[in-house]
Chains A and B, each alone.
Chain A
Amino acid sequence: MSQVDSGRAGSGRRAPARVAKRGTGQNQTGAGWLFVSPMLIILGIFLAIPIVMALWVSFTDWNGRGNPFGSRVNFVGAENYTSLLTEQGLSRQDFMLSMRNTFYYVLGVVPVQTALALLLAVIVNQKFLKGRTFFRTAFYFPSVVSSVAISLVFVYLFTGTGAINTILSKVGVIGPNWLDDPRGVIHIIGEKVGLWSIDAPPSALASTEVMNLSLWEWFKGPSVALSTIMIQVIWTTAGTFMLMFLAALQDLPAEVEEAAMVDGANRRQRFMNVTVPHLRPTIFLVLTLGIIGTWQVFDQMYVMTQGGPAKTTLTPAYLSYAAAFRQQQWGEGAAIAFILFALIFLLTSIQRYLLRDKDEVAKKKATKAQAKAAKAKGALA
Protein backbone atom coordinates (compact mmCIF):
# COMPACT_ATOMS: atom_id res chain seq x y z
CA MET A 1 0.00 0.00 0.00
CA SER A 2 2.75 2.41 0.88
CA GLN A 3 4.36 1.76 -2.48
CA VAL A 4 1.31 2.85 -4.38
CA ASP A 5 1.03 5.78 -2.08
CA SER A 6 4.52 7.20 -2.32
CA GLY A 7 4.80 6.52 -6.05
CA ARG A 8 1.70 8.49 -6.76
CA ALA A 9 2.43 11.21 -4.33
CA GLY A 10 5.81 11.75 -6.00
CA SER A 11 4.51 11.89 -9.53
CA GLY A 12 1.55 14.01 -8.55
CA ARG A 13 3.59 16.67 -6.87
CA ARG A 14 5.78 17.38 -9.85
CA ALA A 15 3.50 16.75 -12.78
CA PRO A 16 1.01 19.27 -14.07
CA ALA A 17 -2.65 18.69 -13.29
CA ARG A 18 -3.51 16.96 -16.56
CA VAL A 19 -0.82 14.36 -16.20
CA ALA A 20 -1.71 13.85 -12.57
CA LYS A 21 -5.26 13.16 -13.58
CA ARG A 22 -4.22 10.55 -16.08
CA GLY A 23 -1.92 9.07 -13.48
CA THR A 24 -4.79 8.81 -11.06
CA GLY A 25 -6.88 6.97 -13.58
CA GLN A 26 -4.17 4.41 -14.07
CA ASN A 27 -3.39 3.99 -10.45
CA GLN A 28 -7.01 3.58 -9.48
CA THR A 29 -7.09 0.15 -11.05
CA GLY A 30 -4.23 -0.99 -8.86
CA ALA A 31 -5.53 0.80 -5.80
CA GLY A 32 -9.07 -0.40 -6.43
CA TRP A 33 -8.08 -4.05 -6.49
CA LEU A 34 -5.75 -3.52 -3.56
CA PHE A 35 -8.57 -1.97 -1.54
CA VAL A 36 -11.02 -4.76 -2.23
CA SER A 37 -8.44 -7.54 -1.89
CA PRO A 38 -8.87 -8.19 1.86
CA MET A 39 -12.59 -8.53 1.27
CA LEU A 40 -12.09 -10.82 -1.73
CA ILE A 41 -9.61 -13.00 0.16
CA ILE A 42 -11.65 -13.41 3.34
CA LEU A 43 -15.03 -13.82 1.66
CA GLY A 44 -13.48 -16.02 -1.01
CA ILE A 45 -11.73 -18.39 1.38
CA PHE A 46 -14.36 -18.51 4.09
CA LEU A 47 -17.53 -18.14 2.05
CA ALA A 48 -17.34 -18.82 -1.68
CA ILE A 49 -14.90 -21.74 -1.73
CA PRO A 50 -16.47 -23.44 1.32
CA ILE A 51 -19.86 -23.44 -0.37
CA VAL A 52 -18.38 -25.34 -3.28
CA MET A 53 -16.62 -27.72 -0.87
CA ALA A 54 -19.86 -28.35 1.01
CA LEU A 55 -21.71 -28.91 -2.24
CA TRP A 56 -19.19 -31.64 -3.05
CA VAL A 57 -19.51 -33.14 0.43
CA SER A 58 -23.29 -33.23 0.05
CA PHE A 59 -22.76 -35.75 -2.76
CA THR A 60 -20.43 -37.99 -0.73
CA ASP A 61 -20.56 -40.29 2.27
CA TRP A 62 -17.77 -38.51 4.20
CA ASN A 63 -17.86 -39.48 7.87
CA GLY A 64 -15.71 -36.71 9.29
CA ARG A 65 -12.47 -38.69 9.28
CA GLY A 66 -9.65 -37.93 6.90
CA ASN A 67 -9.74 -35.68 3.90
CA PRO A 68 -13.24 -35.17 2.47
CA PHE A 69 -11.68 -34.74 -0.97
CA GLY A 70 -9.43 -37.78 -0.75
CA SER A 71 -9.82 -41.06 -2.60
CA ARG A 72 -11.30 -42.92 0.37
CA VAL A 73 -14.47 -40.90 0.23
CA ASN A 74 -17.20 -42.26 -2.01
CA PHE A 75 -19.24 -40.19 -4.40
CA VAL A 76 -22.84 -41.24 -3.79
CA GLY A 77 -24.64 -39.03 -6.26
CA ALA A 78 -27.86 -37.46 -5.02
CA GLU A 79 -28.35 -40.13 -2.37
CA ASN A 80 -28.14 -37.70 0.53
CA TYR A 81 -30.87 -35.60 -1.06
CA THR A 82 -33.13 -38.48 -1.98
CA SER A 83 -32.89 -40.01 1.50
CA LEU A 84 -34.18 -36.70 2.85
CA LEU A 85 -36.87 -36.12 0.26
CA THR A 86 -38.06 -39.25 -1.45
CA GLU A 87 -37.03 -42.38 0.46
CA GLN A 88 -38.77 -43.98 3.40
CA GLY A 89 -36.60 -43.82 6.47
CA LEU A 90 -35.48 -42.09 9.60
CA SER A 91 -33.60 -39.36 7.73
CA ARG A 92 -36.69 -38.25 5.90
CA GLN A 93 -38.81 -38.53 9.02
CA ASP A 94 -36.49 -36.25 10.97
CA PHE A 95 -36.23 -33.83 8.10
CA MET A 96 -40.00 -33.68 7.69
CA LEU A 97 -40.41 -33.17 11.43
CA SER A 98 -38.00 -30.25 11.25
CA MET A 99 -39.87 -28.80 8.28
CA ARG A 100 -43.19 -29.16 10.05
CA ASN A 101 -41.87 -27.55 13.23
CA THR A 102 -40.33 -24.64 11.37
CA PHE A 103 -43.43 -24.15 9.25
CA TYR A 104 -45.55 -23.63 12.37
CA TYR A 105 -42.77 -21.58 13.89
CA VAL A 106 -42.63 -19.19 10.92
CA LEU A 107 -46.40 -19.07 10.69
CA GLY A 108 -46.63 -18.07 14.34
CA VAL A 109 -43.64 -15.79 14.74
CA VAL A 110 -43.66 -13.68 11.57
CA PRO A 111 -47.20 -12.20 11.72
CA VAL A 112 -47.15 -11.70 15.48
CA GLN A 113 -43.73 -10.04 15.62
CA THR A 114 -44.71 -7.78 12.71
CA ALA A 115 -47.97 -6.77 14.37
CA LEU A 116 -46.31 -6.26 17.76
CA ALA A 117 -43.53 -4.21 16.18
CA LEU A 118 -46.05 -1.99 14.42
CA LEU A 119 -48.09 -1.59 17.59
CA LEU A 120 -45.01 -0.67 19.63
CA ALA A 121 -43.90 1.79 16.95
CA VAL A 122 -47.30 3.48 16.83
CA ILE A 123 -47.37 3.75 20.62
CA VAL A 124 -43.84 5.09 20.92
CA ASN A 125 -44.47 7.53 18.07
CA GLN A 126 -47.25 9.37 19.96
CA LYS A 127 -46.23 13.00 20.08
CA PHE A 128 -47.70 13.73 23.50
CA LEU A 129 -45.79 10.91 25.14
CA LYS A 130 -43.19 11.75 27.73
CA GLY A 131 -40.02 9.69 27.89
CA ARG A 132 -40.36 8.27 24.39
CA THR A 133 -36.64 7.58 24.21
CA PHE A 134 -36.80 5.48 27.36
CA PHE A 135 -39.59 3.28 26.02
CA ARG A 136 -37.95 2.94 22.63
CA THR A 137 -34.77 1.84 24.38
CA ALA A 138 -36.59 -0.64 26.60
CA PHE A 139 -38.33 -2.29 23.66
CA TYR A 140 -35.22 -2.38 21.51
CA PHE A 141 -32.73 -3.53 24.11
CA PRO A 142 -33.48 -7.30 23.90
CA SER A 143 -32.61 -7.20 20.19
CA VAL A 144 -29.02 -6.27 20.93
CA VAL A 145 -28.48 -8.76 23.74
CA SER A 146 -26.94 -12.16 23.00
CA SER A 147 -29.53 -14.80 22.16
CA VAL A 148 -27.68 -17.14 24.51
CA ALA A 149 -28.17 -14.78 27.47
CA ILE A 150 -31.84 -14.25 26.61
CA SER A 151 -32.33 -17.99 26.26
CA LEU A 152 -30.97 -18.59 29.76
CA VAL A 153 -33.35 -16.01 31.19
CA PHE A 154 -36.31 -17.58 29.39
CA VAL A 155 -35.37 -21.08 30.51
CA TYR A 156 -35.61 -19.77 34.06
CA LEU A 157 -38.81 -17.77 33.52
CA PHE A 158 -40.56 -20.73 31.88
CA THR A 159 -39.29 -23.49 34.13
CA GLY A 160 -42.01 -25.59 35.83
CA THR A 161 -41.93 -23.57 39.05
CA GLY A 162 -40.72 -20.38 37.40
CA ALA A 163 -42.00 -16.83 37.22
CA ILE A 164 -44.52 -17.43 34.42
CA ASN A 165 -46.21 -20.36 36.13
CA THR A 166 -46.22 -18.49 39.44
CA ILE A 167 -48.05 -15.59 37.76
CA LEU A 168 -50.44 -18.01 36.05
CA SER A 169 -51.21 -19.79 39.32
CA LYS A 170 -52.21 -16.44 40.83
CA VAL A 171 -55.03 -16.23 38.30
CA GLY A 172 -55.93 -19.88 38.81
CA VAL A 173 -54.21 -21.41 35.79
CA ILE A 174 -51.88 -24.36 36.13
CA GLY A 175 -49.12 -23.72 33.61
CA PRO A 176 -47.43 -26.54 31.69
CA ASN A 177 -43.80 -27.58 31.96
CA TRP A 178 -43.17 -25.28 29.05
CA LEU A 179 -39.86 -26.36 27.56
CA ASP A 180 -40.36 -30.03 28.43
CA ASP A 181 -43.84 -30.33 26.96
CA PRO A 182 -43.99 -32.01 23.50
CA ARG A 183 -47.79 -31.78 23.11
CA GLY A 184 -48.90 -29.94 19.99
CA VAL A 185 -50.95 -26.80 20.45
CA ILE A 186 -53.56 -27.86 17.87
CA HIS A 187 -53.79 -31.27 19.56
CA ILE A 188 -54.38 -29.60 22.91
CA ILE A 189 -57.03 -27.26 21.54
CA GLY A 190 -58.76 -30.17 19.80
CA GLU A 191 -58.84 -32.09 23.05
CA LYS A 192 -60.14 -29.08 24.99
CA VAL A 193 -63.09 -28.63 22.61
CA GLY A 194 -63.77 -32.36 22.58
CA LEU A 195 -62.70 -33.14 19.02
CA TRP A 196 -60.29 -35.90 20.01
CA SER A 197 -58.14 -37.27 22.79
CA ILE A 198 -54.40 -36.91 22.49
CA ASP A 199 -53.84 -40.40 23.91
CA ALA A 200 -56.20 -41.99 21.38
CA PRO A 201 -55.95 -39.96 18.16
CA PRO A 202 -58.59 -40.49 15.47
CA SER A 203 -57.43 -43.43 13.37
CA ALA A 204 -58.16 -41.69 10.08
CA LEU A 205 -55.49 -39.13 10.95
CA ALA A 206 -53.12 -41.44 12.78
CA SER A 207 -52.97 -44.14 10.14
CA THR A 208 -52.60 -42.00 7.02
CA GLU A 209 -48.94 -41.33 6.34
CA VAL A 210 -47.66 -38.56 4.12
CA MET A 211 -43.88 -38.27 3.69
CA ASN A 212 -43.14 -40.54 6.65
CA LEU A 213 -45.35 -38.59 9.04
CA SER A 214 -48.95 -39.35 9.89
CA LEU A 215 -51.50 -36.65 9.23
CA TRP A 216 -52.00 -36.57 12.99
CA GLU A 217 -48.35 -35.55 13.33
CA TRP A 218 -48.53 -33.05 10.49
CA PHE A 219 -51.49 -31.26 12.03
CA LYS A 220 -50.01 -31.22 15.48
CA GLY A 221 -49.23 -27.51 15.51
CA PRO A 222 -46.18 -26.19 17.34
CA SER A 223 -45.46 -28.05 20.56
CA VAL A 224 -45.71 -26.20 23.86
CA ALA A 225 -41.90 -26.22 23.97
CA LEU A 226 -41.65 -24.69 20.50
CA SER A 227 -44.31 -22.13 21.41
CA THR A 228 -42.15 -21.06 24.34
CA ILE A 229 -39.27 -20.42 21.97
CA MET A 230 -41.67 -18.58 19.65
CA ILE A 231 -42.73 -16.29 22.49
CA GLN A 232 -39.10 -15.59 23.26
CA VAL A 233 -38.20 -14.82 19.65
CA ILE A 234 -41.22 -12.56 19.15
CA TRP A 235 -40.34 -10.71 22.34
CA THR A 236 -36.72 -10.32 21.27
CA THR A 237 -37.02 -9.30 17.62
CA ALA A 238 -40.10 -7.06 17.76
CA GLY A 239 -37.83 -4.21 18.91
CA THR A 240 -35.67 -4.28 15.78
CA PHE A 241 -38.67 -4.14 13.51
CA MET A 242 -40.26 -1.47 15.70
CA LEU A 243 -37.30 0.77 14.80
CA MET A 244 -37.91 0.21 11.10
CA PHE A 245 -41.58 1.08 11.49
CA LEU A 246 -40.66 4.12 13.58
CA ALA A 247 -38.33 5.39 10.86
CA ALA A 248 -41.10 4.94 8.29
CA LEU A 249 -43.67 6.64 10.53
CA GLN A 250 -41.38 9.60 11.00
CA ASP A 251 -41.00 9.82 7.24
CA LEU A 252 -44.73 10.31 6.85
CA PRO A 253 -45.09 13.98 5.92
CA ALA A 254 -47.14 15.84 8.53
CA GLU A 255 -48.99 17.72 5.76
CA VAL A 256 -50.52 14.52 4.43
CA GLU A 257 -51.99 13.72 7.80
CA GLU A 258 -53.11 17.29 8.30
CA ALA A 259 -54.77 17.25 4.89
CA ALA A 260 -56.63 14.09 5.83
CA MET A 261 -57.64 15.72 9.10
CA VAL A 262 -58.92 18.78 7.30
CA ASP A 263 -60.89 16.47 5.02
CA GLY A 264 -62.61 15.20 8.13
CA ALA A 265 -61.03 11.75 8.33
CA ASN A 266 -61.17 10.36 11.84
CA ARG A 267 -58.25 8.71 13.57
CA ARG A 268 -59.02 5.20 12.40
CA GLN A 269 -59.64 6.31 8.82
CA ARG A 270 -56.41 8.26 8.86
CA PHE A 271 -54.50 5.24 10.15
CA MET A 272 -56.02 2.80 7.66
CA ASN A 273 -56.03 5.08 4.60
CA VAL A 274 -52.97 7.25 5.12
CA THR A 275 -50.56 5.57 7.51
CA VAL A 276 -50.90 1.93 6.46
CA PRO A 277 -50.45 2.55 2.71
CA HIS A 278 -47.42 4.66 3.55
CA LEU A 279 -46.03 1.80 5.63
CA ARG A 280 -46.70 -0.91 3.05
CA PRO A 281 -43.09 -1.17 1.79
CA THR A 282 -41.84 -1.37 5.38
CA ILE A 283 -44.39 -4.04 6.24
CA PHE A 284 -43.19 -6.11 3.30
CA LEU A 285 -39.58 -5.57 4.25
CA VAL A 286 -40.28 -6.67 7.82
CA LEU A 287 -42.15 -9.74 6.61
CA THR A 288 -39.30 -10.65 4.26
CA LEU A 289 -36.61 -10.20 6.89
CA GLY A 290 -38.81 -12.08 9.36
CA ILE A 291 -39.19 -15.06 7.06
CA ILE A 292 -35.48 -15.15 6.21
CA GLY A 293 -34.61 -14.96 9.89
CA THR A 294 -37.12 -17.45 11.23
CA TRP A 295 -36.23 -20.23 8.79
CA GLN A 296 -32.66 -20.00 10.10
CA VAL A 297 -33.46 -20.41 13.78
CA PHE A 298 -30.59 -22.23 15.48
CA ASP A 299 -29.24 -20.53 18.62
CA GLN A 300 -32.31 -21.14 20.78
CA MET A 301 -32.41 -24.81 19.87
CA TYR A 302 -28.71 -25.19 20.56
CA VAL A 303 -28.96 -23.57 23.98
CA MET A 304 -32.44 -24.49 25.21
CA THR A 305 -33.73 -27.77 23.81
CA GLN A 306 -31.28 -29.51 21.42
CA GLY A 307 -34.28 -30.34 19.25
CA GLY A 308 -36.28 -31.98 22.06
CA PRO A 309 -38.69 -32.79 23.64
CA ALA A 310 -39.69 -35.58 21.25
CA LYS A 311 -37.98 -33.72 18.38
CA THR A 312 -40.64 -31.02 18.45
CA THR A 313 -38.10 -28.18 18.38
CA LEU A 314 -35.98 -29.74 15.67
CA THR A 315 -35.39 -27.24 12.85
CA PRO A 316 -33.55 -27.74 9.52
CA ALA A 317 -30.68 -25.53 10.69
CA TYR A 318 -30.25 -27.48 13.93
CA LEU A 319 -30.78 -30.83 12.19
CA SER A 320 -28.09 -29.95 9.65
CA TYR A 321 -25.68 -29.12 12.45
CA ALA A 322 -26.58 -32.21 14.49
CA ALA A 323 -26.36 -34.59 11.51
CA ALA A 324 -22.88 -33.35 10.62
CA PHE A 325 -21.23 -32.51 13.93
CA ARG A 326 -22.99 -34.99 16.21
CA GLN A 327 -23.79 -38.00 14.01
CA GLN A 328 -20.84 -37.47 11.63
CA GLN A 329 -23.15 -37.75 8.63
CA TRP A 330 -21.60 -34.85 6.82
CA GLY A 331 -23.14 -35.53 3.43
CA GLU A 332 -26.60 -35.48 4.88
CA GLY A 333 -25.92 -32.40 7.00
CA ALA A 334 -24.62 -30.50 3.97
CA ALA A 335 -27.59 -31.64 1.88
CA ILE A 336 -29.99 -30.28 4.51
CA ALA A 337 -28.13 -26.97 4.46
CA PHE A 338 -28.48 -26.71 0.69
CA ILE A 339 -32.16 -27.60 0.75
CA LEU A 340 -32.67 -24.92 3.38
CA PHE A 341 -30.68 -22.47 1.26
CA ALA A 342 -32.85 -23.23 -1.79
CA LEU A 343 -36.00 -22.86 0.26
CA ILE A 344 -35.04 -19.47 1.71
CA PHE A 345 -33.97 -18.32 -1.74
CA LEU A 346 -37.31 -19.42 -3.19
CA LEU A 347 -39.33 -17.75 -0.45
CA THR A 348 -37.50 -14.45 -0.74
CA SER A 349 -37.79 -14.52 -4.52
CA ILE A 350 -41.54 -15.01 -4.28
CA GLN A 351 -41.74 -12.21 -1.79
CA ARG A 352 -39.61 -9.87 -3.89
CA TYR A 353 -41.89 -10.59 -6.81
CA LEU A 354 -44.99 -9.84 -4.78
CA LEU A 355 -43.40 -6.74 -3.29
CA ARG A 356 -42.52 -5.37 -6.70
CA ASP A 357 -46.02 -6.03 -7.95
CA LYS A 358 -47.67 -4.41 -4.95
CA ASP A 359 -45.40 -1.41 -5.22
CA GLU A 360 -46.35 -0.85 -8.82
CA VAL A 361 -50.02 -1.27 -8.02
CA ALA A 362 -49.68 1.13 -5.10
CA LYS A 363 -47.88 3.64 -7.31
CA LYS A 364 -50.61 3.46 -9.92
CA LYS A 365 -53.22 3.91 -7.23
CA ALA A 366 -51.33 6.86 -5.82
CA THR A 367 -51.10 8.63 -9.17
CA LYS A 368 -54.80 8.02 -9.76
CA ALA A 369 -55.64 9.38 -6.34
CA GLN A 370 -53.45 12.39 -6.98
CA ALA A 371 -55.18 13.04 -10.29
CA LYS A 372 -58.53 12.78 -8.55
CA ALA A 373 -57.45 15.11 -5.80
CA ALA A 374 -56.19 17.62 -8.36
CA LYS A 375 -59.50 17.41 -10.19
CA ALA A 376 -61.43 17.89 -6.96
CA LYS A 377 -59.29 20.89 -6.11
CA GLY A 378 -59.90 22.32 -9.56
CA ALA A 379 -63.62 21.85 -9.09
CA LEU A 380 -63.52 23.59 -5.73
CA ALA A 381 -61.59 26.51 -7.10
Chain B
Amino acid sequence: MSVMDYSVAHMLAGALMLASLMMLYQKRLYALINIYALQAFLLSLAVAWQAVLQHAPQLYITALIALLFKALLIPFALHHIVIRLRIHREIETVAGTGTGTIMLVGMALVALSMDVMLKAAANTALLEREDLAFALAVLLLGLLMMVTRRNAVSQIIGFLSLENGLILAAAGTKGMPFMVEISIAFSILVAFIVIGLFLFRIRERFDTVDLRALDDFRGERRLTEVSSGRSSCGNEGKTL
Protein backbone atom coordinates (compact mmCIF):
# COMPACT_ATOMS: atom_id res chain seq x y z
CA MET B 1 0.00 0.00 0.00
CA SER B 2 1.44 3.31 -1.00
CA VAL B 3 1.61 6.35 1.20
CA MET B 4 -0.93 8.00 -1.08
CA ASP B 5 -3.53 5.25 -0.56
CA TYR B 6 -3.14 5.48 3.17
CA SER B 7 -3.27 9.28 3.25
CA VAL B 8 -6.48 9.47 1.24
CA ALA B 9 -8.24 6.91 3.45
CA HIS B 10 -7.02 8.68 6.53
CA MET B 11 -8.16 12.05 5.24
CA LEU B 12 -11.65 10.82 4.36
CA ALA B 13 -12.16 9.16 7.73
CA GLY B 14 -10.85 12.24 9.51
CA ALA B 15 -13.20 14.43 7.48
CA LEU B 16 -16.10 12.24 8.58
CA MET B 17 -15.17 12.86 12.19
CA LEU B 18 -14.78 16.59 11.55
CA ALA B 19 -18.29 16.66 10.13
CA SER B 20 -19.51 15.05 13.36
CA LEU B 21 -17.79 17.73 15.39
CA MET B 22 -19.38 20.39 13.19
CA MET B 23 -22.80 18.95 13.84
CA LEU B 24 -22.26 19.25 17.57
CA TYR B 25 -22.42 23.04 17.60
CA GLN B 26 -24.93 23.59 14.78
CA LYS B 27 -27.99 25.29 16.16
CA ARG B 28 -30.00 25.60 12.99
CA LEU B 29 -31.81 22.56 11.66
CA TYR B 30 -31.14 23.32 8.00
CA ALA B 31 -27.44 23.60 8.57
CA LEU B 32 -27.51 20.42 10.59
CA ILE B 33 -29.21 18.49 7.80
CA ASN B 34 -26.77 19.85 5.27
CA ILE B 35 -23.78 18.82 7.33
CA TYR B 36 -25.32 15.40 7.74
CA ALA B 37 -25.64 15.15 3.97
CA LEU B 38 -21.99 16.16 3.68
CA GLN B 39 -20.97 13.49 6.17
CA ALA B 40 -22.92 10.85 4.28
CA PHE B 41 -21.29 11.93 1.05
CA LEU B 42 -17.87 11.68 2.70
CA LEU B 43 -18.83 8.25 3.96
CA SER B 44 -19.68 7.05 0.46
CA LEU B 45 -16.33 8.38 -0.75
CA ALA B 46 -14.49 6.67 2.10
CA VAL B 47 -16.24 3.37 1.45
CA ALA B 48 -15.57 3.63 -2.27
CA TRP B 49 -11.89 4.26 -1.57
CA GLN B 50 -11.84 1.21 0.65
CA ALA B 51 -13.36 -0.75 -2.23
CA VAL B 52 -10.50 0.35 -4.43
CA LEU B 53 -7.89 -0.50 -1.82
CA GLN B 54 -9.33 -3.88 -0.89
CA HIS B 55 -10.38 -4.85 -4.42
CA ALA B 56 -13.82 -5.58 -3.01
CA PRO B 57 -16.50 -4.80 -5.60
CA GLN B 58 -19.39 -5.30 -3.12
CA LEU B 59 -18.19 -2.24 -1.22
CA TYR B 60 -19.07 -0.16 -4.29
CA ILE B 61 -22.68 -1.14 -3.72
CA THR B 62 -22.39 -0.09 -0.10
CA ALA B 63 -20.97 3.23 -1.22
CA LEU B 64 -23.79 3.61 -3.71
CA ILE B 65 -26.40 2.87 -1.03
CA ALA B 66 -24.76 5.41 1.24
CA LEU B 67 -24.78 7.98 -1.50
CA LEU B 68 -28.37 7.41 -2.59
CA PHE B 69 -30.07 6.86 0.73
CA LYS B 70 -28.02 8.81 3.18
CA ALA B 71 -26.59 11.66 1.19
CA LEU B 72 -29.66 12.32 -0.99
CA LEU B 73 -32.90 10.65 0.02
CA ILE B 74 -32.82 11.11 3.79
CA PRO B 75 -31.60 14.75 3.80
CA PHE B 76 -34.21 15.57 1.19
CA ALA B 77 -36.93 13.94 3.29
CA LEU B 78 -35.67 15.70 6.41
CA HIS B 79 -35.82 19.06 4.64
CA HIS B 80 -39.35 18.24 3.64
CA ILE B 81 -40.30 17.28 7.21
CA VAL B 82 -38.74 20.38 8.71
CA ILE B 83 -40.69 22.57 6.33
CA ARG B 84 -43.91 20.65 6.88
CA LEU B 85 -43.44 21.00 10.62
CA ARG B 86 -42.62 24.69 10.16
CA ILE B 87 -39.59 24.51 12.42
CA HIS B 88 -37.01 25.49 9.80
CA ARG B 89 -36.51 28.87 11.41
CA GLU B 90 -36.16 27.58 14.94
CA ILE B 91 -32.91 27.98 16.78
CA GLU B 92 -32.32 25.12 19.04
CA THR B 93 -31.05 25.43 22.56
CA VAL B 94 -28.56 22.79 23.48
CA ALA B 95 -29.38 21.13 26.76
CA GLY B 96 -27.43 21.81 29.89
CA THR B 97 -24.28 23.74 29.16
CA GLY B 98 -23.18 25.90 26.29
CA THR B 99 -21.79 24.73 22.96
CA GLY B 100 -18.24 25.41 24.09
CA THR B 101 -18.39 22.79 26.82
CA ILE B 102 -19.94 20.30 24.45
CA MET B 103 -17.17 20.85 21.93
CA LEU B 104 -14.65 20.22 24.70
CA VAL B 105 -16.43 17.02 25.68
CA GLY B 106 -16.50 16.01 22.00
CA MET B 107 -12.75 16.55 21.71
CA ALA B 108 -12.19 14.52 24.85
CA LEU B 109 -14.25 11.74 23.33
CA VAL B 110 -12.14 11.80 20.19
CA ALA B 111 -9.01 11.57 22.31
CA LEU B 112 -10.50 8.69 24.29
CA SER B 113 -11.46 6.72 21.20
CA MET B 114 -7.98 7.24 19.70
CA ASP B 115 -6.39 6.07 22.92
CA VAL B 116 -8.59 3.02 23.26
CA MET B 117 -8.47 1.91 19.66
CA LEU B 118 -4.77 2.42 19.11
CA LYS B 119 -4.12 0.20 22.11
CA ALA B 120 -6.91 -2.33 21.67
CA ALA B 121 -6.32 -2.92 17.97
CA ALA B 122 -2.53 -2.83 18.20
CA ASN B 123 -2.16 -6.06 16.23
CA THR B 124 -4.10 -4.97 13.15
CA ALA B 125 -2.80 -3.12 10.14
CA LEU B 126 -2.17 0.60 10.49
CA LEU B 127 -4.96 1.67 8.17
CA GLU B 128 -7.58 -0.49 9.84
CA ARG B 129 -6.57 0.76 13.23
CA GLU B 130 -6.87 4.41 12.26
CA ASP B 131 -10.19 3.74 10.54
CA LEU B 132 -11.54 2.02 13.63
CA ALA B 133 -10.41 4.88 15.86
CA PHE B 134 -12.18 7.44 13.67
CA ALA B 135 -15.28 5.25 13.43
CA LEU B 136 -15.48 4.97 17.20
CA ALA B 137 -15.08 8.74 17.50
CA VAL B 138 -17.93 9.31 15.01
CA LEU B 139 -20.09 6.86 16.93
CA LEU B 140 -19.45 8.50 20.29
CA LEU B 141 -20.01 11.99 18.87
CA GLY B 142 -23.33 10.86 17.40
CA LEU B 143 -24.36 9.50 20.78
CA LEU B 144 -23.25 12.72 22.48
CA MET B 145 -25.42 14.64 20.07
CA MET B 146 -28.43 12.48 20.86
CA VAL B 147 -27.87 13.05 24.57
CA THR B 148 -27.49 16.84 24.33
CA ARG B 149 -30.27 17.71 21.87
CA ARG B 150 -33.88 18.23 22.76
CA ASN B 151 -35.36 18.49 19.31
CA ALA B 152 -36.57 15.20 17.90
CA VAL B 153 -35.24 15.97 14.42
CA SER B 154 -31.73 16.62 15.66
CA GLN B 155 -31.87 13.43 17.72
CA ILE B 156 -32.66 11.53 14.54
CA ILE B 157 -29.71 13.13 12.85
CA GLY B 158 -27.52 12.14 15.77
CA PHE B 159 -28.73 8.59 15.41
CA LEU B 160 -28.06 8.56 11.68
CA SER B 161 -24.56 9.96 12.08
CA LEU B 162 -23.88 7.29 14.69
CA GLU B 163 -24.81 4.71 12.10
CA ASN B 164 -22.39 6.34 9.67
CA GLY B 165 -19.65 5.54 12.13
CA LEU B 166 -20.72 1.90 12.15
CA ILE B 167 -20.60 1.67 8.37
CA LEU B 168 -17.17 3.25 8.33
CA ALA B 169 -15.89 0.68 10.80
CA ALA B 170 -17.46 -2.14 8.83
CA ALA B 171 -16.01 -1.01 5.54
CA GLY B 172 -12.53 -0.57 7.02
CA THR B 173 -12.15 -3.97 8.59
CA LYS B 174 -13.43 -6.21 5.78
CA GLY B 175 -15.44 -7.83 8.50
CA MET B 176 -19.12 -7.39 7.89
CA PRO B 177 -20.77 -9.61 5.33
CA PHE B 178 -22.59 -7.93 2.52
CA MET B 179 -26.01 -9.20 3.54
CA VAL B 180 -25.65 -7.73 7.02
CA GLU B 181 -24.72 -4.45 5.45
CA ILE B 182 -27.79 -4.42 3.22
CA SER B 183 -30.07 -5.32 6.07
CA ILE B 184 -28.61 -2.59 8.27
CA ALA B 185 -29.17 -0.08 5.51
CA PHE B 186 -32.79 -1.09 5.14
CA SER B 187 -33.46 -1.24 8.85
CA ILE B 188 -32.08 2.29 9.17
CA LEU B 189 -34.45 3.34 6.43
CA VAL B 190 -37.41 1.72 8.10
CA ALA B 191 -36.43 3.24 11.45
CA PHE B 192 -36.22 6.58 9.74
CA ILE B 193 -39.71 6.22 8.28
CA VAL B 194 -41.17 5.14 11.59
CA ILE B 195 -39.50 7.97 13.46
CA GLY B 196 -40.71 10.42 10.80
CA LEU B 197 -44.29 9.23 11.27
CA PHE B 198 -43.94 9.55 15.01
CA LEU B 199 -42.66 13.08 14.60
CA PHE B 200 -45.88 14.07 12.93
CA ARG B 201 -47.95 12.34 15.54
CA ILE B 202 -46.03 14.09 18.34
CA ARG B 203 -46.42 17.37 16.55
CA GLU B 204 -50.15 16.82 16.08
CA ARG B 205 -50.69 16.17 19.73
CA PHE B 206 -48.33 18.58 21.46
CA ASP B 207 -47.80 21.30 18.84
CA THR B 208 -44.07 20.96 19.21
CA VAL B 209 -41.31 18.48 18.54
CA ASP B 210 -39.44 19.51 21.63
CA LEU B 211 -39.14 16.32 23.65
CA ARG B 212 -39.58 18.21 26.92
CA ALA B 213 -43.27 18.28 26.10
CA LEU B 214 -43.30 14.50 26.27
CA ASP B 215 -41.56 14.57 29.64
CA ASP B 216 -44.05 17.06 30.97
CA PHE B 217 -46.85 14.87 29.78
CA ARG B 218 -45.51 11.93 31.77
CA GLY B 219 -44.43 14.16 34.62
CA GLU B 220 -47.72 14.22 36.51
CA ARG B 221 -47.82 10.46 36.83
CA ARG B 222 -44.18 10.29 37.71
CA LEU B 223 -44.44 12.73 40.57
CA THR B 224 -47.31 10.93 42.26
CA GLU B 225 -45.77 7.49 41.90
CA VAL B 226 -42.38 8.50 43.16
CA SER B 227 -43.82 10.22 46.19
CA SER B 228 -46.03 7.27 47.09
CA GLY B 229 -43.10 4.90 46.59
CA ARG B 230 -40.88 6.96 48.86
CA SER B 231 -43.37 6.87 51.69
CA SER B 232 -43.80 3.09 51.67
CA CYS B 233 -40.08 2.45 51.44
CA GLY B 234 -39.40 2.18 55.12
CA ASN B 235 -42.25 -0.20 55.78
CA GLU B 236 -41.77 -3.85 56.50
CA GLY B 237 -42.31 -5.84 53.29
CA LYS B 238 -45.24 -8.04 54.08
CA THR B 239 -45.80 -9.27 50.56
CA LEU B 240 -43.32 -12.11 50.52
| A-B interaction | no
By a beta-carbon cutoff of 8 Å, the part of chain A in contact with chain B is none
By a beta-carbon cutoff of 8 Å, the part of chain B in contact with chain A is none
